[in-house]
Structure 1
Amino acid sequence: MAQQSPNYKQLFLEERRRREEAERAQEEARRAQEEAERAQEEERRRRERAEEKTRKTTLPEFLDACHTHLYSGLTVQTDRTLSTHGDPANANNKMRPERIVAWEDFPAQQEAI
């Protein structure tokens, strides 16, 4: 009985194909890990931005925001044709309180809230 000699060329080609597949799988795993790390880093940055937006405001920041968004937007109307005419004290048919009463216990009620 003659023993079959192995086909070295075929064995070599199969081994090379297996090695290339393993390298491709390793490269895909590396890319997937890098993508996961990028996504995790982006999520961390997004969370930090959200925390920065919702953190408590300091007094100087609040005052600056009031100045920027309230005061800076106000302008004086210099065109008299666009302003109110007449005495505002005699405004007929306008809702207004008949009398104003002091609210003595307001601070206590406000503190209770």
Structure 2
Amino acid sequence: GDKITVPVEVTYPDGSKDNVDVTVTVEEPDNTDPEQPGVKDNESFEPGYEDGSGKPGEDVKVEKPEFKDGDNNKVTPPEDTKFTPGENAPEGVKVDENTGEITVPVP
């Protein structure tokens, strides 16, 4: 399957550090969806956000994403889809857990 490389920084008690790359191999999913066996949701849905812009001191709202399927048709994501800020998201960014709408404070 596909391979994902994850960089990991190890810091020891004396302050010295090691940097290692961990390789994760993606195996076939154990999906039991009778309509599409073996297909994960992230393979069936592609979220797309419009870009946003704003002036310093403003909060910029980015509307919820539009989802498309593999054939680029608009689709509705599964009912319990959740949204959270990703790793290293700028401080103060808010993501609506249920809709995916994003609020970004412009410094």
Q: TM > 0.5 between the two? A: no
Name the one with the larger strand percent.
2
Which structure has more RCO (C-alpha within 8 Å, separation ≥ 6)?
2
TM-score, length of structure 1 as denominator length: 0.27
TM-score, length of structure 2 as denominator length: 0.28
Report the structure number with the largest CA radius of gyration: 1
